[in-house]
Amino acid sequence: MKQLSGIARSVQVFFRQLSGVPKTEASPVKRKTLGVALGGGFARGMVHIGVLKVLEEAQIPIAAVSGTSSGAIMAAGYCSGLSATQMAEIGRRLRFKDFARWTLEPGGFCSNDRLGAFITRTLPCKDFTEMRTPLVVVATELLSGKPAIFREGPICEAVRASCAYPGMFTPVSHNGLLYVDGMLSYEVPTTPLKEMGIDCVLGVHLQSKWNPAKAPGHFFDVIGQCFAIAQTRMSLQWEKDADLLLHPNVDDFAFDDFDRGAELIAIGEASMRAALPQLKRVLGIAEAMEVPVKVKDLPAAVTQTVRPSEAGTVA
């Protein structure tokens, strides 16, 4: 009996000691950071508004946004604090004359000095240091041909430099250097975001013919189509740096189709919604069942192929 009583006391002591051992809590899983890289495309750049709108609705935080050419305008607006809805309202009223002025200067047929006034008038923030979301604007140094990565200084000059399309717009002079369009450096500026340490980069590529279904009608058409051809051969590095890549179908839109802004925004929305489950998987936000995207379920202008590539991208 004494032996049993001793065993019982030993068991009690064991469990008291066991209950006093502190529990180790599992460390929280760190969510991957998301960067969004917006490519150029003149009026077609309004597709980006739809992409950003869907990300807002899904409450997916964006750590940084980069932009090239018209993508730089959209990136600056978003990072400055404008909502996608506000940007859509501005985009619907935007016309070519709002940022371009004909000129007789030898460097181009147009000046984009009006774009600087538009940026200053429209954006809540005027300098990179004021941005509510980190912003990267990409241009190209004209003389050296090197990429120009803007992360500080006045927003309007950086965006103007990024949008100085060669042959159409005169080069932009800033801090003693001449700059032209960022599409010559990164058609979709994914690489600068990776260099910042962003975990997951979503790229939006607006590849299309300059003016589809007809022969070039003037000088701008010839330049634009030549650049479109060249850009298909310049995609190696920036594509590798995209973890997810959208290719919204904008083939039916001309470079100056600003009056079709609502259609372009809708294409961006549908494109992003189709890729949202895969983006969530890449970010580790939630387990999402893969739902096949059927071509017949999307409007004709929105049709895109969703496929994984070597870099985990979607095209």
Residue 129 has pLDDT above 60, yes or no: yes
pLDDT at residue 288, as a whole number:
42
| Averaged pLDDT of the chain | 81
Neighbours of 55 (CB within 10 A): 20
pLDDT at residue 262, as a whole number:
92
The pLDDT > 70 percentage for the chain reads 72
Average pLDDT over residues 99-115: 88
Residue 58 has pLDDT above 50, yes or no: yes
Instruction: Kindly indicate the confidence band of residue 291, based on its pLDDT and cuts at 50, 70 and 90.
Output: very low
pLDDT at residue 231, as a whole number:
60
HSE-up of residue 185 (Cα within 13 Å, Cβ side): 29
Instruction: Kindly indicate the confidence band of residue 71, based on its pLDDT and cuts at 50, 70 and 90.
Output: very high
108-111 β-sheet, strand order: 101-102, 108-111, 167-169
Residue with the two structure tokens 């936000």: 285
How far apart CA 231 and CA 288 sit, in angstroms, is: 34
Which of 70-74, 118-122, 226-230 is the least confident region?
Answer: 226-230
In sequence order, the β-bridge partners of residue 204 are: 38, 246
Residue 82 has pLDDT above 60, yes or no: yes
pLDDT at residue 293, as a whole number:
40
User: What is the SS3 assignment for the chain?
Assistant: CHHHHHHHHHHHHHHHHHHCCCCCCCCCCCCCCEEEEECCCHHHHHHHHHHHHHHHHCCCCCCEEEEECHHHHHHHHHHCCCCHHHHHHHHHHCCHHHCCEECCCCCEEEECHHHHHHHHHHCCCCEHHHCCCCEEEEEEECCCCCEEEECCCEHHHHHHHHCCCCEEECCEEECCEEEECHHHCCCCCHHHHHHCCCCEEEEECCCCCCCCCCCCCCHHHHHHHHHHHHHCCCCHHHHHCCCEEECCCCCCCCCCCHHHHHHHHHHHHHHHHHHHHHHHHHHCCCCCCCCCCCHHHCCHHHCCCCCECCCCCEC
In sequence order, the β-bridge partners of residue 203 are: 37, 245
How far apart CA 306 and CA 275 sit, in angstroms, is: 7
pLDDT at residue 168, as a whole number:
86
Residue with the two structure tokens 């460097």: 107
pLDDT at residue 38, as a whole number:
98
**pLDDT tens-digit series, residues 134-152:** 999 999 999 999 999 999 9
Average pLDDT over residues 148-157: 96
Residue 216 has pLDDT above 60, yes or no: no
17 burial type by CB count under 10 A (0-12 exposed, 13-18 middle, 19+ buried): exposed
The model's pTM is: 0.79
**pLDDT tens-digit series, residues 171-213:** 999 999 999 999 989 999 999 999 999 999 999 999 755 455 5
How far apart CA 84 and CA 101 sit, in angstroms, is: 27
The pLDDT > 90 percentage for the chain reads 57
How far apart CA 197 and CA 114 sit, in angstroms, is: 34
pLDDT at residue 104, as a whole number:
81
Average pLDDT over residues 90-119: 88
